[in-house]
Every structure is written in structure tokens, then in C-alpha cells.
Amino acid sequence: MSFLEKILYQASQRQKTIVLAEGSDKRVLEAAKILTDKRIARIIVLGETDQVYRDLKALGAKTDEIRVIDPKTSEHRQRYAQCLYEIRKSKGLTLEDAERLVEDNIYFGTLMVKNGDADGLVGGAIHASADMIRPALQIIRPAEGFKTISSVFFMCRGEEIYLFADCGLVEYPTTAQLSDIAVSTAITAMQFGIEPKIAMLSYSTKGSAKSEGAMKVAMAAERTREKVGHLFGYGGKVVVDGELQFDAAFVPEVAALKCPDSPLKGRANVFIFPNLEAGNICYKAVQRLGNFEAYGPILQGLARPVNDLSRGCVPEDIVGTAAITALQAQ
């Protein structure tokens, strides 16, 4: 099976409850129909109730199996407002402000996940990434042991699967943030049945350059090695090395010449980039030149899963992201 087929199957075995925040968008409703028809997840759609149900019926969706909630009229609105107020009052948020914010679909959906009324949230088809990520950072916050929220792309071609991070969120990570990104990506790999072999990338291999940037990556690799033996209950073996150039991380013959003592032996499958610019350029180049499918950006490091869509997404992208979110909710 392809990567997408595998995650759809695995999600169908778990039957998590996923909120699709943008019920006014036809692509989202088409995705809700597919997710429900294939029993990939239990679906909640946010939007104006009567209109969303009319639109779902027009698509031939099983409206008796899809919940539609209007944040403006929900019975949970006051409870969520109180929750948001308690979380943010130290930042100056008033109860009146909280009552106004919970009428926003993204805030409402995030509070559903925070309160355990749903397992994960997917949005961003008509919202900017900042509008998706801000409520998650304010309400759900990082998982225990983490300070950094990052993003990962699954790069897939046939049976080849690689993880690239961070390609969408942290612009100039510090040493500590690079390590957090690497550990989060290792956990993400394990959640999807991939044994992580992590390369911390640079333009330098094992001290061939002595710049501050190369040394930062080397220190991040050392810090990550100290952490990965204690991955919060996750089993499996994690291999980490860096700093490495891409060819030394990926081509065994090059690794044998440049870094013969590397435990990766040129067989990395998780690539941690030194900054957002390098990661974003590389994933798009690999996607277009190498004919790879790119699934992401998938947020990681959050205590509960929230994921952002591209505004150019198609229904199948939303289905895939919902399935990934369901697996993250394990």
C-alpha cells in the first residue's frame, strides 16, 4: 500500500473524532463525506447548521453520521468561554473577549480538542496558518517536555518515505529548538511505524567547517542523542547523527568516505534542516524534481493534535490530513 493508503486504513481502525473547522467550504464538506463514507474517522463540521446540512445533503453525504455544530449557538459556548478565560486571563483576556472568541470556528474547534470533546482539529482551507496556529499555541500548548512547536512533511514516492523538518514554522531555530524539532520528528516517525534514523543537516560534515551555524547543528545533534533514549514511553531504536551534509546522510558510498564512523551509514530517513529557509526550499525541490508526494505541514510538539491545511488544498488533501491527525491522537 502507498503511504496514504496505509494511514487511511490505520485511521479507520481507530475511529477518532476529528473536527473540520470550515463548514462553509465545499472542499471541506466533500472531505467530510469521504471520511464518513470510508469510515476513516467520526466527523464534526463547524458552521451554520442548516446551511451545512443542506450542502452536505446536496453532496449525497450521510448527514445522520456527521455532526454539525454552530459555535454561535452551541450549548457548550459558555463552558468553552470560561475555559478560554481561565487559560488567558493572566495575559489580559476578559470573559467578554473570551465569549466573543469562542464564536470563531478555529477557537471553538481548538477548545473542543482541549476539553476532550474531539480528538483532533483540521483547518486552514480558508484561514491563514497564523490563524490556525495561534489558538493552538494559546490553548493546547506544547506537550510535556517540549517548548517548541514545529512542523514536518512526509515525503513519499512509492515505498520510499522520508520526514523533513522544520519546513513550515520555526524560522531560525536555536540549538535547543533544533533538538526539540528532532525529538518531535522522531516521535512522529514512530507514531507512523517508521524507525527514525535522524540526520541533523548542515553544509558541513563532522567539523569540515568551523562556522557558528555548523557548530550549532553539531551541538543540537549531541543534545538530541541524550534525549532520544527517553522518548516518553515510545519503543524502538532511534539513531541520530550530525552535523552532516545531505549526501553524507543519504548516500552510503559518500558516508563511507566523509564520515565512516557515522551510525547512520548514509541511510537517514529523517532530515532536520538548520533553518526554515533551507527546509522549505528543499522539500519543494524534492517534491517537484523528484516526483515525491508531500504530506504536510503536520504540526508536532503539541499536547493534542491540530493541523493546518494549504489554502490551495483539494478534498483528498483534507482527507489525508484528517487521517494523519487521527493517528497523532493515539
- pLDDT score, position 232: 47
pLDDT over 70 percentage in the chain: 98
Considering the domain architecture, whether residues 13 and 87 belong to the same structural domain is answered as yes
Name residue 123's beta-bridge partners. Answer: 308
Q: State the pLDDT at residue 12.
A: 95
Q: Are residues 29 and 132 in the same domain?
A: yes
Reported as a pLDDT band with limits 50, 70 and 90, residue 330 is confident
Grid coordinates representing 204 are 558541513
Q: How far is it, in rounded angstroms, from Cα 81 to Cα 136?
A: 15
Same domain assignment for residues 156 and 278: yes
For residues 289 and 154, membership in a common domain is answered with yes
CATH of the domain at 186: 3.40.50.10750
pTM of this prediction?
A: 0.86
Over residues 210-238, mean pLDDT: 81
Whether 99 and 162 share a structural domain: no
Assess whether 182 and 234 both reside in one domain: yes
100 with 190, same domain: the answer is no
Is residue 298, in this structure, part of any structural domain at all? no
Full residue range of the structural domain in which residue 20 is found: 3-141+304-328
**155 in the same domain as 287:** yes
- Domain identity same for 277 and 312: no
| pLDDT at residue 4, rounded to an integer | 87
Same domain, 7 and 109: yes
Looking at the fold, whether 155 and 281 belong to one and the same domain comes out as yes
Q: CATH no. for residue 309? A: 3.40.50.10950
Residue 299 maps to a domain: no
Residue 211 pLDDT exceeds 70: yes
Same domain, 194 and 157: yes
- As a whole number of angstroms, the distance between CA 242 and CA 203 comes to 11
Residue at grid coordinates 484528517: 322
The string of pLDDT tens digits covering residues 109-164 is: 999 999 999 999 999 999 988 899 899 999 998 888 888 999 999 999 988 999 99
Number of domains in the chain: 2
